[in-house]
């Protein structure tokens, strides 16, 4: 039983470490989405994000911001990965509480 408890504690440490790394990366990536508007036949790009209950928009320019779009996609992928890590930690926590 001690072997199983050791494996659980190692797994928990591993997932907590992964969670910290993901959260650190998320803090450095932009929030929101890039929206494209067409005004008088010309396309303009805006970063749209939420600040509290308000939806904010920041003008980005006429050119499509490829680098920003790439960062936002990376952020979304990291959020999905963070959900998986949280689910694994939840399972480990439930398992720790059981008598073996």
pLDDT, tens digit, for every residue of 44-54? 999 999 999 99
pLDDT of residue 94: 86
* Strand ranges for 9-83 from DSSP E: 33-39, 42-51, 54-61
* Residues paired with 45 in a beta bridge: 36, 61
Domain count of the fold of the chain:
1
Enumerate long-range contacts of 43-49, CB under 8 Å, 24 or more apart: none
pLDDT of residue 100: 52
Say how far residue 80 (Cα) sits from the centre of its chain.
6
Q: How far apart are CA 96 and CA 99, in angstroms?
A: 8
Percent of the chain at pLDDT exceeding 70: 96
């Amino acid at each position: 039983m001690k072997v199983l408890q050791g494996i659980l504690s190692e797994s928990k440490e591993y997932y907590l470490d992964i969670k910290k790394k993901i959260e650190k990366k998320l803090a450095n990536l932009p929030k929101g989405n890039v929206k494209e508007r067409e005004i008088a036949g010309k396309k303009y790009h805006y970063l749209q994000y939420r600040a509290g209950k308000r939806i904010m928009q920041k003008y980005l320019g006429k050119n499509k911001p490829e680098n920003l779009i790439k960062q936002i996609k990376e952020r979304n992928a990291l959020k999905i990965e963070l959900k998986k890590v949280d689910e694994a930690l939840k399972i480990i926590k439930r398992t720790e509480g059981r008598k073996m």
